Structure 1
């Protein structure tokens, strides 16, 4: 169903309470914030740090839920499992790279077109700014490159506007310039990766890579157009999420743990689909 915000954005997906899953998220978010605050305060954090971490954790949980919707449009379980895993990560003391998570979410929506229409000027500006912020604040210089790739993929499906085509080299140049100026040239950060984490990443990557091409026709409709989502676009959006997770390894162990919101979505897609299959088999 179209929303007034869609006059200005083709990437925004408002959380409307008339849908049970959306209402659940609206209820859960303040519960998550309060629970994280109490947990962090009880485990030794001071009030300010606990409050800040709780609010950021709530935002991370929402973004992972939203990205989970893009990863698996037909199965609500995936988004909620991703949310739960993200909350667990924050409760264990990990800090999430929220700008990277938000930029990847926008990049995926450019590809998957779950809203429907192509990205508007404001969407492109938001994607560029989020990608720039991710590169500078999160040290995720690869995020602008993924944004550029998303626009290229969209261009293959449907010729975009001049502004969209100009955004491609702008994003690519941003990533390259920040990579060079930041002194990341030798990829030394890869040496900080911890073996156990890498094993988990490899397992998740293999399973997700198997699942993506086996995705059935998407039953969910685009928010504005009302027609079914394009399976190929959704699959490429899934692949973009996987690329985002794998690209985080370029930041070493810090990049990997900062991208736990993305890996939560990837892991949740395996569990969410499995739950759905088990339900269908027992029905």
Structure 2
């Protein structure tokens, strides 16, 4: 019923071991973070621990969009993020952890539209939701997240281009521009960081140089075969988003561990 209106929803299917594993991992991280807070800080910040568990889950969700054939890679990427968060617990702040979860969530939606792992065509509602997601994230965490409009625009543009839908192409770019402007207004108008400027320079080289096209053998949620070209471009969106995310959140040690976990997804398949 939900698929008639949106392609963004992918429910947890308990029949798949990978889905059960991520629920267990996220729950274990939540409990471990609460225990560690008591031992190290002498107090408990439940919301920070909850956003951290959400960040772990969002990383897994992003990972299964980028590498639908190997769910184990998504699991280990999520594990890397959780481990990095626990190791650097002294640096935790509610805003920082919430920002990490929201940035990863926005990138997950962009990758989902690009890879079309739900199997459903993108609707105008999907375009609107994805375009305003950076603004909603900026409002929730109070950070300047307008650069996220870049991977969002890439996702919307590629999706409409593959469908040869000029109307959605133009509308998607307009919505992405408006969403980025709204995120800039809601999150603050501070100038871009040096890291962001460097990321914008590098992302073009990375995006053009990425040529690993592996066959996507796993079916979409509706049983239809995935398009390898879409999965490849979802990875390009993920790389661009990772560079922007590092610039937004900062390149602290635990962030380095977390994003390195995501790049594990891009290893080539062994020859069959």
TM-score by length of 1: 0.77
For 1:143, the equivalent position in structure 2 comes to 148
Structural mapping, 1:18-33, within 5 Å: 18-33=15-30
Distance 1:37 1:100, change over 3 A: same
Q: Which runs of 5+ in 2 are unaligned?
A: none
How do 1:91-240 and structure 2 match up within 5 A? 91=86, 92-93=88-89, 94=92, 95-96=96-97, 97=99, 98-136=101-139, 137-160=142-165, 162=167, 165-176=170-181, 179=184, 182-185=188-191, 187-190=192-195, 212-224=210-222, 226-240=223-237
RMSD over equivalenced CA pairs, Å: 3.3
SS at match of 1:214: coil
Q: Secondary structure at the match of 2:129?
A: helix
Alignment CA distance shift 1:174-1:261 (3 Å): farther
Structure 1 unaligned regions, length at least 5? none
Q: What pairs up with 1:43-82 in 2 under 5 angstroms?
A: 43-44=40-41, 46-47=43-44, 49=45, 51-82=46-77
In the alignment, the residues of structure 1 paired with residue 111 and residue 68 of structure 2 have an alpha-carbon distance, to the nearest angstrom, of 12
Name whichever of 60-69 and 176-185 sits farther off.
Answer: 176-185
CA distance in 1, matches of 2:228, 2:36: 41
Q: Deviations over 1:171-221 (max 9, x none)?
A: 213425655894444x44439x9xxxx9xxx9xx97x997x5233211111
Q: Distance in 1 between matches of 2:148 and 2:218?
A: 28
CA distance in 2, matches of 1:80, 1:8: 29
SS at match of 2:211: helix
Instruction: Give the TM-score normalised by structure 2.
Output: 0.80
The higher relative CO (CA closer than 8 Å, separation ≥ 6) is in 1
3-state SS of 1:213 partner? coil
Report SS of the residue matched to 1:6.
Answer: helix
Tell me how far apart the structure 2 counterparts of residues 120 and 214 of structure 1 sit (CA, whole Å).
Answer: 29
Alpha-carbon distance between aligned partners in 2 of 1:217 and 1:90, rounded to the nearest angstrom: 33
Distance (whole Å) between structure 2 residues aligned to residue 13 and residue 170 of structure 1: 23
How many pairs align? 256
> Is contact 2:115-2:227 (8 Å) kept?
yes
